[in-house]
Copies of this chain bind each other. A is one copy, B any other.
Amino acid sequence: MELIKRRGALVVVSAPSGAGKTTLCHEVRRLVPDLFYSVSYTTRLPRPGEVNGTDFHFVSEAEFLDMRGRDELAEWAEVHGNYYGTPVKALEGALSHGLDVLLDIDTHGARQLRQRYPEAVSIFVMAPSMKELAARLRERNSDAPVEIARRLTRAREEISAWRQYDYLIINRDVKEAVDQLATVIQAERWRTSRLTLKFPDVEVPE
């Protein structure tokens, strides 16, 4: 029984703003070897410290719509007036080379991906409570109060989609939640549905 090939797992992580998803996705890359992090395209402006090509591919709206028109996006969404999208080519290249792909996307994007890739593994990350979620958004100084209120309304909508996901991780403590995320990704590596094995039909020695 020789392992011939393993197709990578497409791991989709969603969460309401403030649940800590971005931190978790960053940290889990340190824990889990050979994890391909798909860098999204976006039309939103970089926040301080964000690096083009690492955090996002920052593009103009015209460039984004061109890609979408050429069906080069596995999913796309408009969030708070900005476009976000996942490039097909990098994604499918990684999966077919046996690399697991971590996608950090919103609930609309996740829905599109599950339709296109029904074998995707989806994980919803929550804050322990709405109160905690609001507090975390307020601590993040980059957002204006009106923006925080908008994100909270949207958070409620997103949270209502939790049951459409395969796994739920409640982010009470970053280290614990990162471990849980890594555990799920690790377990999915032994899914029979992604494995190709060869059984040499040798004579069994007596």
Using A1-B126, A187-B186, A192-B162 as known contacts, say yes or no to A205 and B134 having CB atoms under 8 A apart.
yes
Contact, CB under 8 Å: B192 / A166: yes
Tell me, yes or no, whether A76 is within 8 Å of chain B by CB: no
Using A197-B162, A205-B134 as known contacts, say yes or no to A1 and B149 having CB atoms under 8 A apart.
no
Interface size on A, residues (CB 8 A): 42
List CB contacts (< 8 Å) of A95-139 with chain B.
124, 126, 128-131, 134
A interface: dominant SS = mixed
Known A3-B170, A156-B204; 10 more pairs at CB < 8 Å: A1-B129, A1-B130, A134-B204, A152-B204, A165-B192, A166-B193, A168-B195, A169-B190, A180-B190, A183-B183
Q: List 7 A-B contacts (CB under 8 A).
A: A152-B204, A156-B204, A159-B199, A166-B191, A167-B190, A183-B187, A184-B190
